[in-house]
Structures are given as C-alpha cells and as structure tokens.
C-alpha cells in the first residue's frame, strides 16, 4: 500500500546537551521542524516492500514506506568513521563534564572497565518504561514537573516511573542532505546533533541518572524509516555490499567503543530504524527534500526481499558483530513497523533467522494512527511470542493508547515483553500528543498525561 501524508509537527522539545566538539560525525535531522518551537509541515512517502506495511516513523514524523529492490555489485573498498575531541555536555537542570570520546584502540577487542575507564554500570529493569527523547539535546528548555518543581528531564521522567532512554544516532548529519546540513536550502542546525559525540555525551547523562540506555543506529545521515533508508554520504563510493558492510562494522565499533570508554555503555543497541523494507538502500535524488523524503534507489543495498535478503543479512550482521565483539552482554534489537500485518512480520523475522541474523529483541512500532488499535498489536505480539520462543519483544515507538501498550507487554508470557519506548514525550504531531505544555522557555508536564504513568508505575511494579 502506498499513500502520501502531510504532517504538522508541533515541537515542544527540551534540554540542551552540548557534547564534545565534533569533527564530522552524525547529527540530528533538520527533519521535524524548521525551528525550535514552531510547527513545520513535511510530507513522507510510504509504500511497502515485500511483506511490509506503512507506519509513522518516530523519527520522520510521517508515514513513509517505499517499494524496494536492489542488486549487489562486485568489488570495492570501504571507509571508516571519524573521531572527535572531548568536551563538556550540559543539560537543563544538570551538567555533566564529558570525558574524551575519541576512540583509542583499533580492532574488535572487547572493552572492559577493569582495564580502562569506567564503562557505565549495566542497567537491569524488571520492566522497561522507556522514552525516546533524542530531540531534547537540541534545545535548552527547562522542565517543570507536576509537583511544580524544576527538574532535569531525567529526574522528571524518573519521578513518574520512566527508567530507560532511547537515543537516535546519525552517521554524518553535517553532510549534504544530512540532518544538520544547511545545503540545498535546508534550515539545518548550528551543530551536528545526533552524531557520535552528541550521542555519547547524552549517553553519559543517561547513565549518570541511573537509567538504561538504548542506542538507536539509523545508519544514515538523516532520518531512516520505511520510506527513507539513505546510505550515508561517506559510504556511497563503495562498490559492493561487502565494502558497505565494512563501513557498517567500523562505524558501529567506533560509536559503541567510544560510548563504553566514556562511561556511557549502551544497555541495548538497535541495528537500523524501522527497517521493514530494508536499510542502506537509497541515495539522494533530484526530488529529495531536507528530511530525506523522495530518495532514489541505490545501485545495491539492503532491500528486504526474497532475492536480496542475503545482502540485508550481511549488513545487519556487520553491525551486530561489532557490538558483540565489544560487549556480548549488550542486547541487540531489530526494529520494524508493519505491526498491523502479522504475515508480513512473520516473513521478515523468518527471513532474518534463516539468513543467520543473530538478534535478541524484536521491536515493533505501535501508533494507533498507523498500525491500528491495540487489539491489532496484541494479536501480532501474542502470535510472535508463541512462535518465536527465543525472542524478546518491545514496543519500540508509541504514543496514544499508553496503558494498553504497556499492559500488553507486561502480559506477554515468560517475561519476554521487555517493555516500551514512548516516542518524544516533549513533542506532538499526527502520531500523538505531547505530554508537555510550553510556557516561554519552560516545558510544563501535563498532570493528566503523567497521572496515567503514575498509575501504570504501580501496575507494572516499578
């Protein structure tokens, strides 16, 4: 199914997080708004690939899928990722001095806190009540809780039971068509938000707050979602899938090792974002906009179809192997969004497993506007839990039907429903409403929204 939607994104975003000065790594997409607090209109083009379905990408603010097919070519070489300098990260209400986030070792040796800097304690939760607050470090808002007290975003969320934070990562957001780029008439950002060093600095704050950290690799310079899986600019000269996989491995190694050495060890790593149709399969085209919409097909890549699944598996395993080489205890999540198409999800998971993709957690998007009502989600998750006994599950993105999403996960058998990640509680759009009201430079927690989570906190035993 292909459809076009134009979304109005209402930004109520938060917190300033200034990381170590970056050289040329990833950043946040100019994507969802052209300014900090105003509304922005953007269109996303979505169609299905193989057995995929359309959904709203938490990152792309719209429903967008694309029909995908690709072929692999033959020989070539690969490139690697950049390093950056140390610095200081700050947040509204708290500040954290950044450690040197420059990668100091080569190869795939695991990183141990016994032989180097503190790596950040692993976080274990009986149930994950998570939130993706990636946009928070793009602004310098203060936060007022329902008790009238000004707090950091972390303390505010923890006060209502949240215990885990998801953060997106881009490869080179300053590149043309990247999240922070001002090329092609795009508004951009003054710094490369969501690049390696911004993500690591934010991760340090997450770990310092005693929360779990989910690192979400988009493997793009801009939003990756069902309609846009654009190969990063530094990787587009590769001649074949093996060379592209080498870039995936080197980049993943660099970011995860840098995070671990900086005391920001991720507790879970997501390899690709809403990769129902595949990943690393597009390039910018003549009609590509500032958010990556309307890309062109790459000569080869990781399209998810029967003829090309071997290539997609090569790319996925390159990222997975890099994480496991550094710390095999970090959970690996794969994220797709066709939750309303059980057969499509089965086909995707079966294809991944039959091609030797070794992952721990399957994440699905659950937006009522795009994946249907909770009864549909429940049917899919219950079937998957019965059929894939070795997998665990999360709701990777959701907004409305908050109680239903969390109780659904709680009730999956054998504790294999690990939990949920609310997408951008400081923002609102067609996917759902913000949980905050803006008053000048302050974001005020909405009592009714957080009261629901206070009730859920007790129901979930948090």
Q: How far apart are alpha carbons 232 and 172 in whole angstroms?
A: 7
Determine contact, residues 269/326, Cβ cutoff 8 Å.
no
88-92, 186-190, 215-219, 334-338: least confident range: 88-92
Residue 244's pLDDT band, with cuts at 50, 70 and 90, is: very high
Give the 3-state secondary structure of residue 87: coil
Q: What is the H or E stretch that residue 137 is in? A: none
The residue-averaged pLDDT of 401-421 equals: 98
The more confidently predicted of residues 260 and 66 is 260
The residue-averaged pLDDT of 345-374 equals: 98
pLDDT in tens, 152-189: 999 999 999 999 999 999 999 999 999 999 988 888 89
- Per-residue model confidence (pLDDT) at position 219: 98
Report helix angle 309-326 to 342-354, nearest 10. Answer: 70
Residue 57 has pLDDT above 80, yes or no: no
Residue 427 has pLDDT above 80, yes or no: yes
Residue 367 has pLDDT above 50, yes or no: yes
List CB contacts of 439: < 8 A, sequence separation 6 or more: 144
Q: How far apart are alpha carbons 231 and 224 in whole angstroms?
A: 9
Q: How far apart are alpha carbons 388 and 243 in whole angstroms?
A: 32
The residue-averaged pLDDT of 276-287 equals: 96
Q: How far apart are alpha carbons 30 and 174 in whole angstroms?
A: 10
pLDDT in tens, 104-124: 334 444 554 444 445 577 899
Whole-structure pTM value: 0.79
Residue 306 has pLDDT above 80, yes or no: yes
pLDDT in tens, 184-215: 888 889 999 999 999 999 999 999 999 999 99
Query: Whose structure tokens read 């999540």?
Result: 333
The residue-averaged pLDDT of 382-396 equals: 98
The residue-averaged pLDDT of 407-427 equals: 98
Give the mean pLDDT of the chain: 81
Residue 180 in tokens: 């922070």
The residue-averaged pLDDT of 141-155 equals: 98
Residue 461 has pLDDT above 90, yes or no: yes
- Per-residue model confidence (pLDDT) at position 355: 98
Cα separations (Å) of 134 from 28, 119, 201, 355, 455? Answer: 8, 21, 12, 32, 25
Task: Residue 182: give the domain boundaries.
Answer: 3-459
- Per-residue model confidence (pLDDT) at position 277: 98
Residue 60 has pLDDT above 60, yes or no: no
Give the total number of structural domains in the chain.
1
Q: How far apart are alpha carbons 192 and 450 in whole angstroms?
A: 32
Determine contact, residues 363/333, Cβ cutoff 8 Å.
yes
The residue-averaged pLDDT of 431-437 equals: 97
Residue 317 has pLDDT above 90, yes or no: yes
Q: How far apart are alpha carbons 82 and 103 in whole angstroms?
A: 9
Q: Where are the beta strands (DSSP E) in 218-294?
A: 268-271, 278-279, 282-283
Instruction: Give the count of beta carbons closer than 10 Å to the beta carbon of residue 75.
Output: 8
Residue 206 in tokens: 């997450």
State what percent of residues in the chain have pLDDT above 70.
Answer: 74
* CATH number, domain containing residue 292: 3.20.20.80
């Amino acid at each position: 199914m292909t459809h076009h939607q134009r979304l109005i994104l209402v930004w109520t975003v938060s917190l300033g997080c200034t990381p170590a000065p970056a050289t040329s790594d990833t950043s946040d997409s100019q994507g969802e708004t052209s300014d900090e607090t105003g509304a922005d209109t953007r269109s996303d083009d979505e169609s299905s690939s193989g057995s995929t379905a359309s959904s709203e990408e938490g990152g792309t603010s719209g429903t967008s899928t694309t029909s995908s097919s690709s072929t692999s070519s033959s020989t070539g070489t690969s490139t690697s990722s950049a390093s950056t300098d140390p610095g200081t990260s700050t947040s509204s209400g708290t500040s954290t001095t950044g450690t040197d986030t420059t990668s100091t070792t080569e190869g795939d040796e695991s990183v141990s806190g016994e032989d180097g800097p503190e790596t950040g304690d692993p976080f274990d939760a009986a149930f994950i009540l998570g939130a993706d607050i990636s946009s928070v470090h793009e602004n310098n808002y203060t936060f007022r809780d329902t008790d009238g007290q000004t707090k950091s975003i972390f303390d505010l969320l923890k006060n209502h039971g949240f215990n885990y934070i998801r953060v997106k990562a881009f490869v080179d957001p300053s590149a043309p068509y990247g999240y922070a780029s001002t090329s092609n008439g795009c508004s951009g950002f003054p710094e490369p938000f969501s690049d390696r060093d911004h993500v690591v600095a934010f991760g340090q704050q997450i770990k310092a707050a005693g929360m779990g950290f989910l690192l979400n690799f988009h493997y793009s310079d801009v939003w990756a979602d069902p309609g846009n899986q654009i190969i990063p600019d530094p990787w587009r000269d590769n001649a074949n899938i093996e060379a592209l996989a080498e870039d995936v491995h080197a980049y993943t190694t660099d970011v995860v090792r840098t995070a671990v050495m900086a005391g920001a060890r991720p507790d879970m790593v997501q390899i690709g974002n809403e990769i129902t149709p595949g990943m690393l399969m597009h390039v910018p085209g003549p009609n590509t906009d500032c958010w990556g919409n309307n890309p062109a097909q790459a000569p080869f890549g990781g399209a998810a179809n029967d003829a090309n699944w071997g290539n997609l598996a090569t790319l996925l395993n390159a990222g997975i192997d890099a994480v496991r080489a550094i710390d095999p205890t970090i959970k690996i999540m794969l994220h797709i969004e066709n939750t309303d198409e059980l057969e499509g999800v089965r086909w995707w998971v079966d294809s991944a497993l039959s091609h030797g993709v070794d992952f721990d957690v399957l994440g699905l998007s659950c937006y009522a506007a795009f994946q249907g009502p909770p009864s549909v989600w429940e049917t899919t998750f219950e079937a998957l839990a019965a059929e894939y006994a070795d997998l665990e599950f999360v709701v990777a993105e959701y907004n409305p039907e908050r109680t239903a999403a969390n109780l659904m996960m709680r009730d999956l058998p054998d504790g294999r429903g690990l939990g949920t990640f609310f997408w951008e509680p400081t923002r609102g759009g067609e996917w759902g409403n913000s949980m905050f009201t803006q008053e000048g430079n302050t974001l005020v927690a909405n009592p009714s929204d957080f009261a629901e989570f206070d009730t859920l906190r007790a129901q979930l035993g948090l």
